[in-house]
Amino acid sequence: MAPSPTGPLHIGTARTSLYNYLAARHVGGTYVLRIEDTDVARSTVEYERDIIDNLHWLGISWDEGPQVAGGEDVGTYGPYRQSQRMDRYAREADRLLASGAAYRCYCTAEELDAVRRAQDAAKEPPRYNGRCRSLGEEERAAFEAEGRRAAVRFAVPPEKIRFTDLIRGEVEFDNALLGDFVIVRADGMPLYHFVVVVDDEAMEISHVIRGEDHLSNTPKHIALIRALGYREPVFGHVPLILNADRSKMSKRKSQTSVTAYREQGYLPEAMVNFLAFLGWSPGTEEEVFTLDELAARFEVGKVHKAGAVFDAERLDHLNGLYIRALADEQLAHRLRPFVPDALDDASLLRVVPLIRERLVRLSDAGELVAFLVETDAEVAANYEAAALIPKKADAAGAAAALSRARSVLADLDHADFSAEVLEERCRGAAEALGWKAGDFFRPIRLAVTGRAISPPLFGSMELLGRDATLARLDAAAEKLAVTA
């Protein structure tokens, strides 16, 4: 996870992780999770847990790396947290210094800021001016006598870097435009560009698949690889995920954390399919795949170069497909965290067939089933008396409709209080009054559920039971009487 676990797992990082997983599984390779936590101030066990737990929720597993936050590593190339690999980084930094490929830089933050401001005023690209690159021994000694602590800068060779990207094909950068960059801070903490190169070599990484935002970092990494005498891995840079207006998906403008989607009730299977298609296509009209099926089809070279637009409606569509494909028992199990605790498991299982078609997200269920656990008073408080009156009726007419409904339902005993019988009775009552069925059902629905939108009315009444249904019809009639 690059550059470090500095917050909840981002939807873009999850997609990149999925592509790594699919690419590795497609060719029978090894998928490695490395926690790149050298930014100590911003890296926490909680963020690491969020990354690992959400990847596991998506069904993504890895062959090497930490399996639980703060836990032991699996694999022979560990440790897999960069904060535990400092000795190796120090040795490789010393090797670069000894070879002349890196040097100590004593510039203060104020001096560097002054250089940046001067370059900005001159409309020059910002880069280090090389001040410390050719310091003599006496100058270094003087700086150290002042108490200055030195960072380590890599001396970037002024050469063109060419490489073949798995997704973008031939890419070229001119490193002469880069300027020398810091690889170890003055406090001794190594930086991402350096440690990732050291670790890729040490862990025998053959393929690096990462976000397009790292494309401009690759020439730095290749220059370091060559200076250290390492072999060069194959790079692939995945396009960014975009908002509907084609701006970069960011926390400021979008919901970006995987946890937020989990909490809304998106299924991991739907999220995996959605993410897989954000920049890749199997070339068919199919849209529902298991992880194994995706791995069998996925080829990283067929990932699109252009940014992929995050289509929330498509995610909702996929989620609905997966919800409706679940067996009643499976859906009830998935819904358990999203419905009131007061709704027992047996009642939840009974209501599942009624609400399945109305669910886009699992979190939709809470509102749909609330009437089953609310008190009669709570249900009545959810609507105003005026809402009980259909458009072409008045309070007296609505009261008459509720009275007729109650009378035909009160004749039924508990055993006959079934959805089929209830519908037959109510339709007959509507016809006898000369009302359209929809107009007749509206006040009944509000009275029984407290909502204008609910699960199928007569199934809801059956689940609620005879006594509660009649009591709620009475409560509605009382509201209308007060209004009149």
* pLDDT single digits (tens) 264-289: 999 999 999 999 999 999 988 888 99
Catalytic residue among 123, 160, 220, 251, which? 251
pLDDT, tens digit, 9 for 90 and up, residues 141-187: 999 999 999 999 999 999 999 999 999 999 999 999 999 999 999 99
Nearest to 462, CA basis, from 423, 411, 405, 407: 423
What confidence tens digit (pLDDT) does each residue in 79-135 have? 999 999 999 999 999 999 999 999 999 999 999 999 999 999 999 989 999 999 999
- pLDDT band, residue 5 (cuts 50/70/90): low
Give domain 11-82+242-309's CATH superfamily: HUPs (3.40.50.620)
Residues present in the chain in total: 484
pLDDT value of residue 71: 86
Q: Specify whether 123 is catalytic.
A: no
3-state helix, strand, coil in the chain (%, to 5): 55, 10, 35
217: which residues sit within 8 A by CB, 6+ positions away?
Answer: 193
Q: Span 85-238: which CATH code?
A: 3.40.50.620
Is there a contact between 449 and 371 (Cβ–Cβ < 8 Å)? Answer: yes
Question: Per DSSP, what are the bridge partners of residue 241?
Answer: 308
> Which CATH number applies to 376-483: 1.10.10.350, 1.10.1040.10, 1.10.3720.10, 1.10.3210.10?
1.10.10.350
Same fold, 85-238 and 326-372: no
Helices (H), 247-394: 258-264, 268-276, 291-297, 312-325, 328-335, 345-355, 365-369, 376-380
User: CA 238 → CA 22, 166, 279, 397, 481, distances in Å?
Assistant: 13, 9, 8, 63, 65
User: Of 72, 76, 144, 74, whose CA–CA distance to 105 is shortest?
Assistant: 144
- pLDDT score of 287: 84
Task: Name the one residue in this structure whose structure tokens are 């919901």.
Answer: 255
Angle at 480 between CA 475 and CA 482, to 5 degrees: 95
Domains of the chain by residue range: 11-82+242-309, 85-238, 326-372, 376-483
Asked if residues 372 and 464 have their Cβ atoms less than 8 Å apart, the reply is yes
Residues 6+ apart with CB under 8 A from 240: 12, 211, 212, 213, 248, 249, 307, 308
> Band of the pLDDT at 482, cuts 50, 70, 90?
confident
Tell which residue, 233, 241, 190, 173, has the closest CA to residue 213.
Answer: 241
Q: What pLDDT band is residue 3 in, cutting at 50, 70 and 90?
A: very low
Distance CA 202, CA 35 (A): 15
List of long-range contacts for 314-321, beta carbons under 8 Å, 24+ apart = 314/274, 315/266, 315/270, 315/271, 315/274, 316/360, 316/361, 318/270, 318/273, 318/274, 318/287, 318/288, 319/265, 319/266, 319/267, 319/270, 319/360, 319/361, 320/359, 320/360, 321/270, 321/287, 321/288
pTM: 0.90
At 232-270, the pLDDT tens digits run 999 999 999 998 888 888 766 667 899 999 999 999 999
Task: Write down the architecture of domain 326-372 according to CATH.
Answer: Orthogonal Bundle (1.10)
